[in-house]
Amino acid sequence: MNYFARRLEFETDADDVGSALLDGTADFTLIDARSRAAYDAAHLPGALSLPHRGITADTLPDGPIVVYCWGPGCNAATKAAAKIADLGRDVKEMLGGFEYYVREGYPVEGDDAARHNKDQSGLVVLPGETMHGCSLPSERSSSSATPMAPAI
């Protein structure tokens, strides 16, 4: 298997996760690896708060897991995914984290959720586009684009 296909076994992105949540095809549990205070302020819909330092076999839900943290400058999701994988569980890290999920215009929940808005710079979604992120709608609806689907 090539390097890039191998990466897809362990990574997903904000657009694939957001699309799966919106269309009801999410076959995973989301874990927010940030602090409880950050989670309370805003988090992805349905996510569980489980800061990476508190992860044990007893704290994990059943089934596949997708972990996220703040964004590209945060490695809490990487630390959480490493711990979860060491426990023998099926896990993927969501690239871009909370930051890119919000920038792509997906909804969040929490005490301060209303202050998190879609990116307006045109860097994530070009002005006038109706699709999110880097996936075409046809790619998001295919089983290979779901966050926990086998790579390519």
**How many beta carbons lie within 10 A of that of residue 91, not counting itself?**
24
CA of 63: how far to CAs of 56, 123, 148, in Å? Answer: 15, 34, 10
Q: Please write the tens of the pLDDT for every residue from 112-142.
A: 988 887 766 666 655 555 544 455 444 544 4
- Residue 129, pLDDT score: 58
pLDDT over 60 at 147, yes or no: yes
Distance CA 30, CA 120 (A): 26
In order of their start, the domains of the chain are: 3-145 (3.40.250.10)
- Residue 138, pLDDT score: 44
Q: What phi-psi label fits residue 106: left (phi over 0), alpha (psi between -120 and 50 degrees) or beta?
A: beta
150 vs 110, higher pLDDT: 110
Q: Please write the tens of the pLDDT for every residue from 34-83.
A: 999 999 999 999 999 999 999 999 999 999 999 999 999 999 999 999 99
Distance CA 50, CA 59 (A): 8
Distance CA 126, CA 123 (A): 6
Cα dihedral sign, 118-122-124-126: positive
pTM of the model: 0.82
104 vs 118, higher pLDDT: 104
**How many beta carbons lie within 10 A of that of residue 84, not counting itself?**
23
- Residue 118, pLDDT score: 73
Q: Please write the tens of the pLDDT for every residue from 71-91.
A: 999 999 999 999 999 999 999
149 vs 6, higher pLDDT: 6
